[in-house]
């Protein structure tokens, strides 16, 4: 039973939990040096009393907060390689920081991996630590993100949904035109009479992964080309998975005449496998997606998701005087050589 009508502070929480105030502080700051038993007791009390820590004295004093949060979903933070290591997330965040600076706002970057992180980030909003937030990388139907979408806070969600939640109040859904980008790639491949393109899929619980797969399949269907399931690899945006999947394709001597990787990050794993099997990959039609900085200089083709445009739209939405919930898409651009960087 909630006791949110009763006032409570961290000292009282410590007394109720039978721990020191510093232990409560470590739990509130998601510090790992707390026993599971004590953490559970403290979180239970926090939830029971709906306690929100006083994290921003300036906000309580009436000073307007100009901090925008960028919250990136990554449940595998303890693995050696995570999605955060890919240039896509780093490039997006870098661009957002620059655009926010031009609007006299600051950026707080944080990661979300579990329920405790979700509670902490909700506290950021309730306590005024951040004025608004950009959420990126979240899986479909995430309950925490749905709560934020329905809240009174300004929220931008990137690569999440195609349709507006009818209870959304101040939300910008902004997505790359993944379907259009992959359709353009497939048109290039199929016009060369290549009918057995491999596809290395992204995470199908993310809109980008789903849309890129849909465009691949629709392109083949429109040309009345049978879809061979052996050519569809569930690599899940993971470079190591893509490498392993490519190795199996080569070991099993599965015939293919082109390659589309749903991310440039996976493409590097694919090429590693091709090199090990001494395949002359430079003679293959190979495409990636995301336009990472090494892709084209290495001689590969890719799709640029126009991150700068996405960042600009996100920041503009969050700092505007008036906001209206809507869905927007940013364009993609095929990058086949260095010259494409300098053309409109």
Q: Output the pLDDT for position 56.
A: 45
Q: Output the pLDDT for position 89.
A: 76
In terms of DSSP H, where are the helices of 191-263?
207-222, 239-251
Owner of token pair 């491999």? 198
DSSP for 167-204, please give it: T-SSEEEEEE-HHHHHHHHHHHHHTTT---EEEE---T
**Of 176, 221, 171, 163, whose CA–CA distance to 195 is shortest?**
221
Cα separation values, 321 from 58, 68, 105, 170, 313, Å: 22, 15, 14, 12, 14
Q: Which residues pair with 70 in a beta bridge?
A: 109, 134
Query: Is 201 or 61 the better-scoring residue by pLDDT?
Result: 201
Q: Is residue 53's pLDDT more than 70? A: no
Whether residue 84 contacts residue 71, with contact meaning beta carbons closer than 8 Å, is answered with no
Whether residue 24 contacts residue 44, with contact meaning beta carbons closer than 8 Å, is answered with no
Q: Is residue 181's pLDDT more than 90? A: yes
Whether pTM exceeds 0.75: yes
pLDDT classification of 7: cutoffs 50, 70, 90: low
Whether residue 171 contacts residue 157, with contact meaning beta carbons closer than 8 Å, is answered with yes
- pLDDT per residue as tens digits for the range 124-174: 998 888 999 999 989 999 999 999 999 999 999 999 988 898 999 899 999
Q: For the purposes of burial, counting CB atoms within 10 Å of the CB of 248, is it exposed (0-12), middle (13-18) or buried (19 or more)? A: exposed
Q: Is residue 116's pLDDT more than 60? A: yes
Other C-beta atoms within 10 Å of 223: how many? 12
What are the φ and ψ backbone dihedral angles of 55, each rounded to 5 degrees?
Answer: -100, -10
Rounded mean pLDDT of 79-99? 71
Q: Output the pLDDT for position 187.
A: 97
- pLDDT per residue as tens digits for the range 228-238: 999 999 999 99
Query: Is 32 or 223 the better-scoring residue by pLDDT?
Result: 223
Rounded mean pLDDT of 1-27? 79
Rounded mean pLDDT of 327-338? 91
Q: Output the pLDDT for position 54.
A: 55
Q: Output the pLDDT for position 60.
A: 41
Q: Output the pLDDT for position 341.
A: 67
pLDDT classification of 316: cutoffs 50, 70, 90: very high
Q: Output the pLDDT for position 29.
A: 66
Q: Output the pLDDT for position 308.
A: 86
What gap in Å lies between CA 272 and CA 203, rounded to an integer? 21
**Of 188, 211, 193, whose CA–CA distance to 335 is shortest?**
188
- pLDDT per residue as tens digits for the range 247-283: 999 999 999 999 999 999 999 999 999 999 999 999 9
What gap in Å lies between CA 165 and CA 173, rounded to an integer? 10
DSSP for 6-49, please give it: S---HHHHHHHHTS-HHHHHHHHTT-S-S-HHHHHHHHHHHHHH
Q: Output the pLDDT for position 86.
A: 56
Q: Is residue 69's pLDDT more than 80? A: yes
Copy the structure tokens of residue 152.
């009174």
Q: Output the pLDDT for position 279.
A: 96
User: Positive or negative CA dihedral for 169, 175, 177, 178?
Assistant: negative
Helix (H) or strand (E) holding 330: strand 326-330
Helix (H) or strand (E) holding 112: strand 106-112
Query: Is 195 or 95 the better-scoring residue by pLDDT?
Result: 195
What gap in Å lies between CA 55 and CA 6, rounded to an integer? 19
Owner of token pair 């949904």? 161
Q: Is residue 287's pLDDT more than 80? A: yes
């Amino acid at each position: 039973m909630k006791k949110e009508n009763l006032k409570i502070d961290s000292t009282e929480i410590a007394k109720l939990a039978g721990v020191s105030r510093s232990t409560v502080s470590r739990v509130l700051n998601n510090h790992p040096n707390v026993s599971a038993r004590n953490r559970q007791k403290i979180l239970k009390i926090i939830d029971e009393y709906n306690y929100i820590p006083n994290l921003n004295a300036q906000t309580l004093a009436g000073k307007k907060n100009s901090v925008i949060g960028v919250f990136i979903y990554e449940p595998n933070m303890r693995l050696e390689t995570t999605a955060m290591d890919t240039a896509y997330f780093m490039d997006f965040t870098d661009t957002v920081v620059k655009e926010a600076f031009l609007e006299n706002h600051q950026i707080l970057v944080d990661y979300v991996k579990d329920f405790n992180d979700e509670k902490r980030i909700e506290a950021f909003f309730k306590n005024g630590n951040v004025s608004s937030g950009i959420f990126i990388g979240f899986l479909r139907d995430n309950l925490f993100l749905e709560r934020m979408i329905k809240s009174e806070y300004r929220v931008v969600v990137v690569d999440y949904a195609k349709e507006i939640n009818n209870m959304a109040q101040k939300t910008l859904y902004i997505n790359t035109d993944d379907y259009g980008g992959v359709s353009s790639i497939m048109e290039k491949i199929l016009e060369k009479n290549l009918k057995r393109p491999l596809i290395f899929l992204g995470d199908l619980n993310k809109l980008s992964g789903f849309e890129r797969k849909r465009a691949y399949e629709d392109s083949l269907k429109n040309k009345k080309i049978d879809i061979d399931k052996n050519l569809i690899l569930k690599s899940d945006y993971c470079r190591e998975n893509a490498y392993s999947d490519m190795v199996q394709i080569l070991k099993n001597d599965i015939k293919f005449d082109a390659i589309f990787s749903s991310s440039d990050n996976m493409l590097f794993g694919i090429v590693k496998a091709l090199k090990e099997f001494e395949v002359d990959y430079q003679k293959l039609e190979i495409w990636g997606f995301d336009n990472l900085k090494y892709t084209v200089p290495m001689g590969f083709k890719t799709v640029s998701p126009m991150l700068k445009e996405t960042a600009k739209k996100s920041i503009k939405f969050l700092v505007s005087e008036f906001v209206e919930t809507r869905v927007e898409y940013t364009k993609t651009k095929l990058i086949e050589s260095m010259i494409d960087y300098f053309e409109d």
